[in-house]
Amino acid sequence: QQRLVESGGGLVQPGGSLRLSCAASGFTFGFYAIGWFRQAPEKGREGVSCFSPAQNVTYYSDSVRGRFIYSRDDAKNTVYLQMNNLKPEDAGIYYCAIVYCTISTITNRFDTWGQGTEVTVSS
């Protein structure tokens, strides 16, 4: 079965860093774009970052650009989201999903979601 499993969330102080992981199984990584979304308390789900293998470009939302870094390890079939200089507004549940991804847009391709991993930013 096709699966994406998030991990790496936790508690961090403002200004700190955290790296999230998204492990894929049941499909070949290279055929799909994988993206990150988040849902903060009292907020809707928003796109954060993605990489498009077809276009070889990486998307970042305006709020995280310059602080977050998307990467992937094809051998491990895993993508990562390195989050630096974290702010309280970065807190929430982070999800990864198969997406349509361009340099400026991110959309959940199949509108399916896993359990996510929670990030808490608090002093």
Does residue 1 surpass a pLDDT of 80? no
Question: SS3 for the chain, per residue?
Answer: CCEEEEECCCEECCCCCEEEEEEEECCCHHHCEEEEEEECCCCCEEEEEEEECCCCEEEECCCCCCCEEEEEECCCCEEEEEECCCCHHHCEEEEEEEEEECCCCEEECCCCCCCCEEEEECC
pLDDT at 75: 87
pLDDT at 29: 75
pLDDT at 118: 98
pLDDT at 72: 93
Tens digits of residue pLDDT in 30-69:
778 999 999 998 899 999 999 998 889 999 999 999 999 9
